[in-house]
Structure 1
Amino acid sequence: MDTAIAQNGTVTVTGIVQDQASQQPVEFATVMVADKETGEAITGATTTAEGTFSITVNSSDIYVEVSFIGYKPQTFRDITFADGIADLGTIKLIEDSQALDEVVVRAEKSRTEFKLDKRVFNVGQDLTSAGASALEVLNNVPSVNVSIEGVISLRGSAGVQILVDGKPSVLADQQSNALGTITADMIESIEVITNPSAKYDAEGTSGILNIILKKEEKRGLNGSVSLNTGVPDNHSIGVSLNRRTEKFNLFTQLGVGYRSIPEFSETINRDLTNNTTVTSDGTEYRNETFYNIILGTDYHINPYNVITLSGNFAYEVESQPSQYDFSLLNDNNNSVVAEWNRRETTEATNPKWQYELQYAKEFKNNEDHKLLLSATGRFFGKDQASEFINTAVSGENFNNDQQTETEYQQADYTFKLDYTNPLTEKITLETGAQYVINDVGNDFTVREFQDGNLVTIDELTNNFEWNQKVLGVYSTGAYEDEKWGVKLGLRVENTDLSTLLTNTNESNNQNFTNLFPTFHTSYKLTENISVQGGYSRRIYRPRLWDLNPFFNIRNNFNIRVGNPDLLPEFTDSYEITSIFNMEKASINTSVYHRYTTDVVERVSTFENNVNTTMPMNIGTNRTTGFELNGEHSPTRWLKLNGDFNLNYFIREGEFQEQSFDFTGDQWSSRLTSKIALPANFDLELIGNYQSGFQTVQSEVSGFAFADVGLRKKMLDGKAVVNLSVRDVFASRIRESVIDQPEFYLYSFEQRGRFITLGFSYGFGKGEAMTYSGSRRR
């Protein structure tokens, strides 16, 4: 080796790093220079936007390693210097398929990867997610929509199972608002599984959304810190730390924040029999202080055996001040009979924690030959007290002052076994089992001031207990070569469900066993064109919030209750997808069909201007849909992503001798543009539209909304400043009308615009977090 040293005793190493497949520069690739004898790192740098690097060191006895997440690293040991300079030329990095399978892609751009039985949305650097929670991140994922109430739907259907790292989690309980404690900086990717294989829990009639959390594997001490502030109040601090040694990988994430979420709502209840109308309008504020910590360790017993122990603790302090103005109108003469306001003061504390012990074994004959055992425990609690004060403005006060108390406790336990054996390079068998125990209690008390005395209202007070045990056993077999792949699976699940109203001793017990077959296939027509097909059978089991008959009296004229006799939904889902990959663009189209029985719909009953909604099993639903996803990079500074979903449905059903047969359609679209600006600025614009649609009773209005994000990178990408504006025009709403022969109902909700400014900094080998802690319902 010719090692000529420059006169000042230093040498320089230069080069250009490119992606081998696209020939595009790889920005922020890591270039490490290490001592050739000791292997200790001397210095390092990251590549520029053009993929170039230049490093000066004091020794020529070195080697160079070039790496980037999602690619195989390249090492250069025989380096030749001429006049103190070594030019490594163009270094082509190859994607690491194993890393992609494990979903540890942190590419600069967000993109969707298609696998045999799922799509992986790599969260990447989505600018509008700055200062966001998991719900806002989900709302940017193709095929997914999140209403302002926090209801998650996939391809227009709300029967979605939310998992965290492939397992049920207390953090993924939509009804507990717990998804808000998962902050966007914690998320690596989202898996969209519209037709899950038998390996997955059969829960969720429209499919599964699996949130993959980040877990750093780089050696040494690495981490990042983030600070955020916003309007309305959205303030948070987040810290991520990781320490990787030969045997241990220690990781922790901490977050603390405060957020205020205002929501304006308006209702009209019109009794067409008595010709009276009750109206209400006002604003509710959900003020939340939250704390969150994740702590865990991986212990590498040897290269083939790893034990992981991890825990999560989150604590929320909520207050919900609100005031609504009510009016009672006589429609016969358009006169105001009475006016009053109802003021609510609610205080709540929500502790939740989770712990998991996992053992993973790889076999020496094949790294994909694996055994995984895990045990998870979860708890969520709510201790809430509310006071409702009614003040007459004119006429008679139609409500007494009330107080409510809620003591809610949920304990869940999951035991899981998964075994994967690649018999050959093309044939793989999987088998396993899962046992889930859900134990929930909700003690709800309503008291009312009557003649100056506080009296318990027995018909609104009870303790509801819900216990469910689900045992699942599955097996799959897959064959996959360079062009064709097929995967068959069968899952058997037994459900043992019991509910009990302890005060009235009303019980409901169900025990049933079901088969859930799955089928997936793919075929590669050319290097750039492939097709996929899939089938799965799914179930939606009613939750406590669906079953509990005592639920909500916030507005005494619009009451939501549960139905303890509710039955599960079953869905047969079919799908065909085509994938077209071009040099600067990709297009993916899907045609799907879902057939659902015992469909759960919320049905309104009306009496004396009081609207009571209860979930009911009403008939069947046949949905046929078309979905289009596309990406295009016409220039190096512009990237476009589009998503369009249209479905047509046929509803058949009957309730209280009334036919609910009808047909309808709904569609949604999303267009995202990411623009690279000078001086390391990036701009992201997102436009969304969701059409109106019909339910068994109501007409829901459509709406459009837009999000904007701006990012500035500094200090070679170690520091990032984000500015995000969600719902720029405050046009994201929930509006519905129910027009029946006996009554008319109108409902409107709006949250408004959210602006967040964030700063994050990565140290060690950590990356700056381009999202941050927030709390979202």
Structure 2
Amino acid sequence: MPTKLKQFLVLALLFTSVINFAQQEPNSKTKIKIIGKVIEKVSKQPLEYATITFLNPNNPKPVAGGITNAKGEFDIDVNPGVYDIKIEFISFKLNEIKQKSLQASTNLGQIALEEDANQLNEVVIRSEKTTVEIKLDKKVYNVGNDLMVKGGTVSDVLDNIPSVSVDVEGNVSLRGNDNVKILIDGKPSNAINIAEALRLIPADAIEKVEVITNPSARYDAEGGGGLLNIILKKGKNLGLNGTFIASTGYPDNHGLSGTLNFKSKNFNLFTNQGYNYRNSPGSAITNSRYLNSDNTTRNYINESRENDRYSKGYNGNFGMEWYLDKTTSWTNTFNYRKSTGDNRDNVFQNNYDANYIYNYTRNRINEEDSNSENVEFATNFTKNFKKDGHKLTIDGSFSTNDDKNNALITDTATNSSLTKFDQTINNQSQSRNLLQTDYVLPLGKGSQFEAGYRGNFIKQLTDYQVENDGVTNINFTNTLEYKEKTNAIYTQYGFKANKFSALFGLRWEDSNIEINQLATNDFNNKKYNSFFPSAFFTYELSDKSSTSISYSRRIQRPMGRMLNPFSNFSSNINIFVGNPDLDPAYTDAIDLGYIKRWDKLTFNTSLYVNKTTNVFQFARRESGKFENGTPVIISSPINLATEYRAGFEFTLNYTPYKWWKLNGNFNFFRNETQGNYVYTNFNNVDITQNFDNTATSWFTRITSKVTLPYKIDWQTNATYNGPQNSAQGRSLGVFAVNLAFSKDIMKDKGTLSFNISDVFNSRKRIMETFLPGIVSSYAEMQWRQRQFSLSFTYRFNKQKNEKEKQPKKNMNEGEGDFQG
């Protein structure tokens, strides 16, 4: 077709649309508004994405319709008249209202749908829910639709989420800020090493992840950068149904997992089970030039490292939700997680003199065995009162976690006939008890009051032993006891007036923390309390666009090895020493947001500013000791004055065609640090390190999902983390790409998936460090090499893309969210 003819037809269509719209406009004033709420008949819980259709009884064609929101509510404009109304939701029985006369705006009230077990065996064609749902106050990442994470772990899931980054060592950051609180089912993780724990939980056990960049007073104040809430799968559909997944890969990456649930009118039984065996080979290099006080070269050390990490892990839970009556439920869940690992770390240090003439090579081989065991019991009691939204929840979580780590280090050098044998034993145990109650009271049309209490009680014991050639080294052997008691109360009030919504909250937290070094009888106690206000304002510009502004105050408490005054023994020339006198850091956060929806596009952007006082910073200094002429450098955390962080980000969901979906995220931030670190060195000389630094960085991620011929899904994920400067060096940019393909088989009951993680083998942490008069270094670290995975998923009595009924919410999922 000629180009001019195409242009003419497009203009003609646009002109016709305008004329039609102009002709219809006067009639639109006569339309009436029909509202209501769709709920599940047994539990009385709202059903999101239920479909409401208005039909002409004489000519059964749909004339209007819509879907319910997260609260199960709908709001639809129709012309006055008589209608047949259909209310539908997948796996539920159809509810029809026949010959309903609607002559004025009407509230249809609550419409209850009943689950239909027979429909579970039918093949239902349904459009797939998008992987990322964008909301004004948070982003919700639906794990089940992401091909990249099949056979992977929670770390793989988090690394695919907009605004979230996971570095090569598994550390999580949100919008470039690593001060992030990670919750699992709304509760703090009970793991001692959270980065390692996230690698043990299979991705298949996760339903969705909520990204909340500026949490309200309802949530723990911990985490100045925001929080991530990982929600595990719980069965919800009537009858017996489940999913099983088997996966294999190279390097070794094998796993079996499954979810199973049986639901009746009186109770719901559910379980998640998973086992995996993995090898994560990695490598690192560190090339260092050690300096004299005038920055001339003293000597060189080029270090290369090869890692082979083998792990076996089991993660399982069992739970039962008991419907005591129509308004009351009691849920109990038991979770058990166990893992064993072998880590072989082979390090070569090539030593050169000031003229870069080779001297000798030192070889350190670290053979490490680890064993971790975690047990948790969680309970939830929910009481719904007569008034919609009026409820009381009581929650408890009780857990223990034991980590045992035994390492044998063999040290040889080409310039010596001696072989040194060192052994480290690191046994850690932690118990956590969590109690919480929340009360939500609707006060009238468009307003709501909330109040609650949370008590978080942690006890952690670290027993660390070092032996050199069979003799205990008292300079490293120690026992650290950490106790934390945090009590918090909060209250919130929210209201909506026309298009304007507001939510005000105030949280008070009292902390009593003990840091006891039992080896030296060094006892430290820190007590502090503070108020944490929050305020959120939202204005609906139109039906498809909203803007908001929010404020919250947050805290970051130092924990674990950051507080231990004894050093570790992982390296003989780079030593980490904790600081028991660390104070908490406080953050004031402001976020300005805007969201706009079109038919095929959702656009969300935010501008944010954070101010953190007493921010943590890792400072490096000389110890005064030497290893074969090389100075031993100590790294310790300190409280460093003030940090200012500002940035903006935007997220896009775009579906240009039915067969192509795009998700994109871009974040740019500026980080300014102000402060000096003063210490007395080994020569009794006061040294001042200036940490004033201004750095900018950015990262972007784009995910494309295409449906190819023969119904093959193809997903591509590309990520780039930009370079960033610090006061003592800089990190370089990192680019990485993942690919995945899937194909449904066995009449859509099964799915085959194949993915490649880190296609170009480029995911590395690259650092340059310069400490005047001490060292200049270049380092590359790759935690895991490129990986290939193949998985098979089998579903029974469950469709691939069905939208399950929303679960009962409690503290696990932030119940009581006030939505204007």
Q: TM-score, normalising length from structure 1?
A: 0.84
Aligned to 2:289: 270
**Contact 1:169-1:378 within 8 A present in 2 as well:** no
Superposition deviation, residue 89 in structure 1: 8.4
**Contact 1:536-1:574 within 8 A present in 2 as well:** yes
Q: Does 1:237 align with 2:210?
A: no
Alignment of 1:549-568 (within 5 A): 549-550=565-566, 552-568=568-584
Amino acid at match of 1:745: S
**Contact 1:338-1:396 within 8 A present in 2 as well:** no
Superposition deviation, residue 553 in structure 1: 2.1
**Contact 1:420-1:428 within 8 A present in 2 as well:** yes
The correspondence for 2:71, drawn from 79, 98, 106, is: 98
Aligned to 1:142: 162
Rounded to whole Å, the distance in 2 between the matches of 1:183 and 1:100 is: 34
The correspondence for 1:316, drawn from 339, 344, 356, is: 339
**Secondary structure, counterpart of 2:188 in structure 1:** coil
Amino acid at match of 1:675: V
**Contact 2:476-2:569 within 8 A present in 1 as well:** no
Aligned to 2:412: 391
Aligned to 1:754: 787
Judging changes above 3 Å, is the alpha-carbon distance between structure 1 residues 741 and 469 closer, same or farther for their aligned structure 2 residues? Answer: same
Rounded to whole Å, the distance in 1 between the matches of 2:143 and 2:245 is: 17
Report Cα offsets for 1:371-428 as digits up to 9, x if no partner.
1101101211112211001222x21379832001111101111000111111112000
The correspondence for 1:666, drawn from 697, 722, 731, is: 697
Superposition deviation, residue 554 in structure 1: 2.5
**Contact 1:118-1:192 within 8 A present in 2 as well:** yes
**Contact 2:277-2:313 within 8 A present in 1 as well:** yes
The correspondence for 2:133, drawn from 102, 107, 112, is: 112
**Contact 1:222-1:766 within 8 A present in 2 as well:** no
Aligned to 2:429: 409
Amino acid at match of 1:718: K
Alignment of 1:84-483 (within 5 A): 94-98=67-71, 107-115=128-136, 117-170=137-190, 174-175=193-194, 177-273=196-292, 275-331=298-354, 333-366=355-388, 368-392=389-413, 394-396=414-416, 400-449=420-469, 454-483=470-499
- Which shows bigger deviation, 602-611 or 382-391? 602-611
Report Cα offsets for 1:235-290 as digits up to 9, x if no partner.
00001110101111000011111001111011133321171222210211221000
Taking only aligned residues, the RMSD between alpha carbons, in angstroms, comes to 2.7
Superposition deviation, residue 194 in structure 1: 1.2
Report Cα offsets for 1:182-220 as digits up to 9, x if no partner.
221222221111111100000001011111122121111
**Secondary structure, counterpart of 1:736 in structure 2:** strand
The correspondence for 1:733, drawn from 764, 774, 777, is: 764
Superposition deviation, residue 565 in structure 1: 1.4
**Contact 2:282-2:307 within 8 A present in 1 as well:** yes
Aligned length: 687
**Secondary structure, counterpart of 1:562 in structure 2:** coil
The correspondence for 2:719, drawn from 688, 691, 704, is: 688
Rounded to whole Å, the distance in 2 between the matches of 1:114 and 1:349 is: 40
**Secondary structure, counterpart of 2:582 in structure 1:** coil
Q: TM-score, normalising length from structure 2?
A: 0.80
Report Cα offsets for 1:745-764 as digits up to 9, x if no partner.
33210122111110010112
**Secondary structure, counterpart of 1:98 in structure 2:** coil
Judging changes above 3 Å, is the alpha-carbon distance between structure 1 residues 348 and 638 closer, same or farther for their aligned structure 2 residues? Answer: same
Superposition deviation, residue 716 in structure 1: 3.7
The correspondence for 2:506, drawn from 490, 498, 503, is: 490
Superposition deviation, residue 303 in structure 1: 1.1
Alignment of 1:3-22 (within 5 A): none
The correspondence for 2:706, drawn from 675, 691, 704, is: 675
Judging changes above 3 Å, is the alpha-carbon distance between structure 1 residues 278 and 541 closer, same or farther for their aligned structure 2 residues? Answer: same
Amino acid at match of 2:274: G
Rounded to whole Å, the distance in 1 between the matches of 2:419 and 2:548 is: 59
Q: Which runs of 4+ in 1 moved over 3 A?
A: 73-76, 87-93, 104-108, 173-176, 396-399, 549-552, 606-609, 766-770
Name structure 2 gaps, 5 residues minimum. Answer: 1-45, 75-90, 92-125, 624-629, 679-687, 804-820
Rounded to whole Å, the distance in 2 between the matches of 1:196 and 1:74 is: 33
Judging changes above 3 Å, is the alpha-carbon distance between structure 1 residues 100 and 554 closer, same or farther for their aligned structure 2 residues? Answer: farther
**Secondary structure, counterpart of 1:178 in structure 2:** helix
The correspondence for 2:50, drawn from 57, 66, 72, is: 72
Rounded to whole Å, the distance in 1 between the matches of 2:545 and 2:416 is: 71
Rounded to whole Å, the distance in 2 between the matches of 1:211 and 1:544 is: 23
**Contact 1:271-1:277 within 8 A present in 2 as well:** yes
Rounded to whole Å, the distance in 2 between the matches of 1:617 and 1:397 is: 45
Aligned to 1:544: 560
- Which shows bigger deviation, 104-113 or 409-418? 104-113
**Contact 1:69-1:107 within 8 A present in 2 as well:** no
Alignment of 1:557-636 (within 5 A): 557-607=573-623, 608-636=630-658
**Contact 2:183-2:189 within 8 A present in 1 as well:** yes
Amino acid at match of 2:70: S
**Contact 1:236-1:257 within 8 A present in 2 as well:** yes
Aligned to 1:65: none
**Contact 2:585-2:614 within 8 A present in 1 as well:** yes
Rounded to whole Å, the distance in 1 between the matches of 2:633 and 2:349 is: 15
Q: Provide the identity percentage.
A: 32
Report Cα offsets for 1:545-601 as digits up to 9, x if no partner.
321234542332223332211111110000101111111112111110000111111
Amino acid at match of 2:346: Q
Rounded to whole Å, the distance in 1 between the matches of 2:246 and 2:802 is: 10
Amino acid at match of 2:776: Y
**Contact 1:269-1:611 within 8 A present in 2 as well:** no
The correspondence for 2:753, drawn from 694, 718, 722, is: 722
Superposition deviation, residue 340 in structure 1: 2.3
Amino acid at match of 1:677: L
**Contact 1:69-1:106 within 8 A present in 2 as well:** no
Rounded to whole Å, the distance in 1 between the matches of 2:278 and 2:284 is: 19
Report Cα offsets for 1:613-670 as digits up to 9, x if no partner.
2211112111110111112111111111111100112210101222211211010001
Report Cα offsets for 1:160-179 as digits up to 9, x if no partner.
000112111325x5546111
Judging changes above 3 Å, is the alpha-carbon distance between structure 1 residues 324 and 106 closer, same or farther for their aligned structure 2 residues? Answer: farther
**Contact 1:296-1:310 within 8 A present in 2 as well:** yes
Amino acid at match of 1:747: A
Amino acid at match of 1:378: S
**Secondary structure, counterpart of 1:525 in structure 2:** strand
**Contact 1:240-1:252 within 8 A present in 2 as well:** yes
Amino acid at match of 2:353: N
**Contact 2:53-2:64 within 8 A present in 1 as well:** no
**Contact 1:170-1:353 within 8 A present in 2 as well:** no
Rounded to whole Å, the distance in 2 between the matches of 1:365 and 1:440 is: 43
The correspondence for 2:519, drawn from 486, 503, 506, is: 503
Rounded to whole Å, the distance in 1 between the matches of 2:180 and 2:478 is: 29
Q: Does 1:649 align with 2:680?
A: no
- Which shows bigger deviation, 679-688 or 759-768? 759-768
Q: Does 1:745 align with 2:723?
A: no
Judging changes above 3 Å, is the alpha-carbon distance between structure 1 residues 270 and 423 closer, same or farther for their aligned structure 2 residues? Answer: same
